[in-house]
Structure 1
């Protein structure tokens, strides 16, 4: 007798669909604001924000890719666009000759400063405004262990690269 496929109960299914819809609606609004104000994609904003939040203004490319959950090749392309625009510089890592370090420039910090107020306004208005403070604390308390569980597996950069043609 064939084993029946795993299924989600109605509560699980509802929670999953609600989470996906909220994430999609929020991301769409955020992406629209970033494009209009700074001509940035969401991933480019994430990179600038992580660099801008770093005490040194720098991160290794691999760490950035793992942090924003983006492919190494995709991140290389996005960092190249940001570098071409003068928002970041890429240099060989001082710690590891195989690594590249990305550093935010003054122009990158200025653009981040330009888009951040509107970004905060969109996130606050759509995500936080309808929630009471206790609900917000509960949401953070629910999402943190899920995120930690998802991040408990080795990062994508630890996975072996596929050979071309395989």
Structure 2
């Protein structure tokens, strides 16, 4: 290490930022994953405090909130969230004990189970949605600088367009 070069002599030169191995699409995807990881981390504590559920249970509530009152079959929930059915059964049981979802047999299918939000869950989501949305917005703003936004826009060019 010399006075003009503060790096130890045995450390290699840092590669240039544009000399990476990943194509732009994979680089943008990795940036997006990092941003969503930041959002999930921030949401975990807010969701626990506001709704007293885990982050995975919150994802189930959000999925069901976008459905009609009839809800979804458990297999659909598992597929849409990419969760094992055994883990989902446990999470649904927790949500049912908390009074946030109902489980009903599917007519004509003795193995089928349909889950839906209760009125209590819908009300609690309405009450907390502004705070939760603000948490998401702030986490994205904090974790995505101009370079990250440009990379994601390059991945999905339509993101840069105004809605029609």
TM-score between both structures, scaled by the size of structure 2: 0.68
Partner of 2:136: 123
Asked if residue 94 in structure 1 is aligned to residue 107 in structure 2, the reply is yes
Partner of 1:3: none
CA deviation after TM superposition for structure 1 residue 97, in Å: 2.1
User: Is the contact between residue 28 and residue 152 of structure 2 (CA under 8 Å) also seen in structure 1?
Assistant: no
Higher-RCO chain (CA-CA 8 Å, sequence separation at least 6): 2
Residues in 2 aligned to 1:140 and 1:114: alpha-carbon distance in whole angstroms: 34
Query: Which of 27, 31, 34 does residue 21 from structure 1 map onto?
Result: 34
Query: Which of 17, 28, 40 does residue 53 from structure 2 map onto?
Result: 40
User: Is the contact between residue 51 and residue 58 of structure 1 (CA under 8 Å) also seen in structure 2?
Assistant: yes
Partner of 2:98: 85
* Structure ID, larger Rg: 2
User: Is the contact between residue 45 and residue 112 of structure 1 (CA under 8 Å) also seen in structure 2?
Assistant: no
With 82-91 and 8-17 compared, the bigger mean Cα shift is at 8-17
Residues in 2 aligned to 1:90 and 1:68: alpha-carbon distance in whole angstroms: 18
CA deviation after TM superposition for structure 1 residue 74, in Å: 0.7
Residue-by-residue CA offset, 1:56-81 (whole Å, 9 max, x unaligned): 34100000011111110111000000
Residue-by-residue CA offset, 1:24-75 (whole Å, 9 max, x unaligned): 2111011121012111211211111121211234100000011111110111
Partner of 1:9: 21
Residues in 1 aligned to 2:82 and 2:158: alpha-carbon distance in whole angstroms: 17
Partner of 2:116, secondary structure, is strand
Residues in 1 aligned to 2:45 and 2:32: alpha-carbon distance in whole angstroms: 20
Residues in 1 aligned to 2:141 and 2:42: alpha-carbon distance in whole angstroms: 14
Partner of 1:151: none
RMSD: 3.2
Gapped regions of structure 2 (runs ≥ 5): 1-19, 160-164
TM-score between both structures, scaled by the size of structure 1: 0.68
Query: Which of 63, 72, 79 does residue 85 from structure 2 map onto?
Result: 72
